[in-house]
Structure 1
């Protein structure tokens, strides 16, 4: 990872109805050091965030001109400083019109990867911390939060600018509870949602489950496990699932077998890329449910081995109890008997 350009600005709207305050930082070229460390942590939070959305820039550049400004910067028609001046000013204007309070840092990062360039817009949050001041008296100060990231967008520049690139070159983190500020951020970056993550998750699950059932019985569990592991690894990298790559991962001897099967049995996008929710993909390897004061979760591999379901009586029989659960049950029963 190498940061080409980075700039941050502090923006605050503490009295709705009044102009938002803005303090600009200096544009930095190849800052290295602590900035690289901060960006690495923000990327880790970005990649691990569940429920990300995927899409492209809005065509309404009048309302969301960021894409036009970004293209001018990439084509050397304006500097990074000019690009961020405009972006931060629009952020200030959006916050001025907000009825919600907000304060925090907006950071723009142009990063060079091994095979592509990306740009991040990140709304950094702060935590309060205690310190001793120069008089050795306790004082409070704000520090950047390294554990929270609720608003951010990543632009895959090569995919955006390539004539045959993906239509889903924007990845958005838009956490629940961000309210009006979250809506303003979406307008700032000009994000338009094109991917139905829920639908693509069901497509992925159905295709893998059907493929597992078509495999030899002793290999069905391995198919589900490998599909889940692949999806989990892609999520950790912040990448979608390419059906061709997954196909090769599931069967190294016949790397096209799953791809061919999925194309015939499921509605796979022409791009051959799916964006499943990794939390729901876990259903491939775990069976879970809760209700009526009970919560049960176990590996699907244990069905008919240590866990047996009687459909007629709607009863679940569990053998080979985990040691911790067995000890808890014994203590509870002993306590009941003593009372």
Structure 2
């Protein structure tokens, strides 16, 4: 990982209706060291966030000029410092009209990877911490949070600048509870949603389930498990699921078999890429449900092996109980008997 350029600005809006304050830092070229470590941690949080959205830059350049400024910077028509001056100025202007309190560090990072380039916009939050000052008096201070990331966007520069201009080169983290500042951040980035994650999750599940059922019975469970593992690994990397890559992963001897099957049985996007919600994809390998004071979850492989469902009686029989559960039941019954 190598950061080409990085810059931060602290913005605050403590009195809605009053001008927001913004203090910009120095524009760094290849800062290395602690900045690399901080960015690495933020990337880890970014990749692990569930419910990310995928899209592209808005065509409304007048309202969302960031893409135009970024393009000029990448084409050496303006410096990184000039581009971020404009970006920070717009962020302050947006916060001027914000009716909710806000404070946070806006960080922009231009990163060069081994085979691609990306730009991140991130809002870094703070945690309160206690320390003893020079007079050994307890004092409260703010430190950067290394465990929270609720607003961030990643721009895949190669996809954006490609001739065919891929439709989903932006990945957005938009956490719950970010309120109006969260909506303003989306405007700042110029993000517009193009992917129906819910629909693509259903497409992914339908394709894998149909393929599993078409396989030999003893291999159906393996197909579901491998599909889930592949999806989980892609999520950890912060990447979508490429159907061709998944096809090769499911069957190395016939790497095109799943892709051809899925193309005939489901409506795949022309890009051959899906953005399934990995939390819902877990249905491939686990059966779970809760309600009426009960919560049950078990591996789908255990059906008709250690877990048996009687449809007529609507009853579930579980054998080979987990040790911890068995011990809890025994202690509970013993207590009741006493």
Shorter-normalised TM range: over 0.9
Question: What RMSD in Å do the two structures reach over aligned CA positions?
Answer: 0.4
1:185 maps onto 2:185 in alignment: yes
Aligned 1:139-158 pairs, distance under 5 A: 139-158=139-158
For 1:37, the equivalent position in structure 2 comes to 37
**TM-score scaled by structure 2?**
1.00
CA deviation digits over 1:266-285, x for unaligned, max 9? 01000000000000000000
User: Cα distance, 1:106 vs. partner?
Assistant: 0.1
CA distance in 2, matches of 1:268, 1:92: 42
User: Cα distance, 1:166 vs. partner?
Assistant: 1.9
User: Cα distance, 1:249 vs. partner?
Assistant: 0.1
For 1:100, the equivalent position in structure 2 comes to 100
Aligned 1:109-124 pairs, distance under 5 A: 109-124=109-124
CA distance in 2, matches of 1:153, 1:301: 38
CA distance in 1, matches of 2:94, 2:335: 62
**TM-score scaled by structure 1?**
0.99
CA distance in 1, matches of 2:9, 2:186: 18
CA distance in 1, matches of 2:34, 2:162: 32
1:91 maps onto 2:91 in alignment: yes
CA deviation digits over 1:81-138, x for unaligned, max 9? 0010000010001111000000010000000000010000000000000001010111
CA distance in 2, matches of 1:166, 1:36: 29
For 2:164, the equivalent position in structure 1 comes to 164
CA deviation digits over 1:126-179, x for unaligned, max 9? 000000101011101100000000000000000000012421000000011111
Runs of 4+ in 1 over 3 A off after TM superposition: none
CA distance in 2, matches of 1:42, 1:24: 20
The runs of 5 or more residues in structure 2 that have no matched partner are none
CA distance in 2, matches of 1:132, 1:166: 53
Aligned 1:260-271 pairs, distance under 5 A: 260-271=260-271
CA distance in 2, matches of 1:165, 1:57: 11
CA distance in 2, matches of 1:194, 1:176: 20
For 2:281, the equivalent position in structure 1 comes to 281
SS in 1 for 2:231: helix
User: Cα distance, 1:77 vs. partner?
Assistant: 0.4
Aligned 1:1-339 pairs, distance under 5 A: 1-338=1-338
